[in-house]
A = this chain, B = another copy of it.
Amino acid sequence: MEKNDRLAEQNRGFFRAKKLLVLNVLSSPGSGKTTFIRETAVQLAGRLRVGVIVGDLATDNDAARLRTAGIPVVQITTGTVCHLDADMIAKACAQVDLDALDVLVIENVGNLVCPADYDLGEDLRVVLLSVTEGEDKPLKYPPMFHSANVAVVTKCDMAAAAGFDRSLALANLQRASHHARIFELSAKTGDGMKPWLDFLAAQRAAVKRKS
C-alpha cells in the first residue's frame, strides 16, 4: 500500500504538470458509471477535451461504448484484481495523448469496497449511488463514501419506479460523505447534468491556474 501511495503521488505530480483535471469514478457494478462518463464527455465537447481510462475484470464493453461516442479511451483488464492501482494508471497513461486532454476520467472496477484503499493520483474521487440501490449504501460502505470528494446520485429518472426515498438518501450521504459535494442527475435524460458540468469546468480552471 505504501508503494501504491508513492506511485499515486508520482501520478499526481505528472498530471499537475500536464494541467489535467483527473477524476477517479467509483461505484457498485451497474450504477451507471459508463453512461455518466460518456454523457459528461459528450456534453463537455467544445468546452473541455475528456479522455477515459476504464477498468474491468473482463471484456472491453465499456471502452467500446465510449469509443463509439468519439472519446479517447484505454481499457485496463484486471483479470481477477478487484481494483485499479496507481501503477496500472501510470502504464495506461503511456497509451493516451494526455497533451490533447483537459480532463482524464478513470472509471474504476465496479466495487464499493476495495478500490477505496487505492489512491490513483486523482484530483477528485467521485462516488456514484444509483436510485435503484437503496438509500442506506453510504452507511454500509463507509470507507468508500467517506473518501468521496463528490457524490453523484444517478438514474434519477427511475426514482419513482424504484420507490427512492430522496431525503433519506441525501441525509445518509451527508452523514457518510459530509465533506462531499452532492449532485443528483440522470445521464439518460440529461436532467441535472448542467451543474455537474459547470462544476467540472470550474475545477479544471482551478487546476490550470495552479499548474
Task: Mark A residues whose CB is within 8 Å of B.
Answer: 28-30, 56-59, 61, 80, 82, 109-114, 117, 130, 132-134, 136-137, 139-143, 155, 158, 161-162
State in angstroms the CA–CA spacing of A77 and B129 once bound together: 22
A30 and B158 form a contact (CB under 8 A): no
B57 and A142 form a contact (CB under 8 A): yes
User: A136: which of B61, B80, B136, B141 is its contact (CB, 8 Å)?
Assistant: B61
In the assembled complex, the CB of A4 is this many whole angstroms from the nearest CB of chain B, namely: 16
Q: Given A29-B140, A59-B139, 13 more contacts at CB 8 Å? A: A28-B110, A29-B137, A57-B140, A57-B143, A58-B139, A61-B140, A80-B143, A82-B114, A109-B113, A110-B140, A111-B112, A111-B114, A161-B161
State in angstroms the CA–CA spacing of A114 and B158 once bound together: 29
Closest to A132 in B: B132
A30 and B110 form a contact (CB under 8 A): no
Which residues of chain B are near A82, meaning CB under 8 Å? 82, 111, 113-114
Which residues of chain B are near A114, meaning CB under 8 Å? 82, 111, 113-114
Which residues of chain B are near A58, meaning CB under 8 Å? 139-142
In the assembled complex, the CB of A25 is this many whole angstroms from the nearest CB of chain B, namely: 16
In the assembled complex, the CB of A190 is this many whole angstroms from the nearest CB of chain B, namely: 16
In the assembled complex, the CB of A28 is this many whole angstroms from the nearest CB of chain B, namely: 4
Which residues of chain B are near A130, meaning CB under 8 Å? 30, 132
In the assembled complex, the CB of A95 is this many whole angstroms from the nearest CB of chain B, namely: 21
User: A161: which of B28, B59, B133, B158 is its contact (CB, 8 Å)?
Assistant: B158
In the assembled complex, the CB of A152 is this many whole angstroms from the nearest CB of chain B, namely: 15
In the assembled complex, the CB of A63 is this many whole angstroms from the nearest CB of chain B, namely: 12
A140 and B56 form a contact (CB under 8 A): yes
Which residues of chain B are near A139, meaning CB under 8 Å? 58-59, 61
Which residues of chain B are near A132, meaning CB under 8 Å? 30, 130, 132, 155, 158, 162
State in angstroms the CA–CA spacing of A7 and B130 once bound together: 37
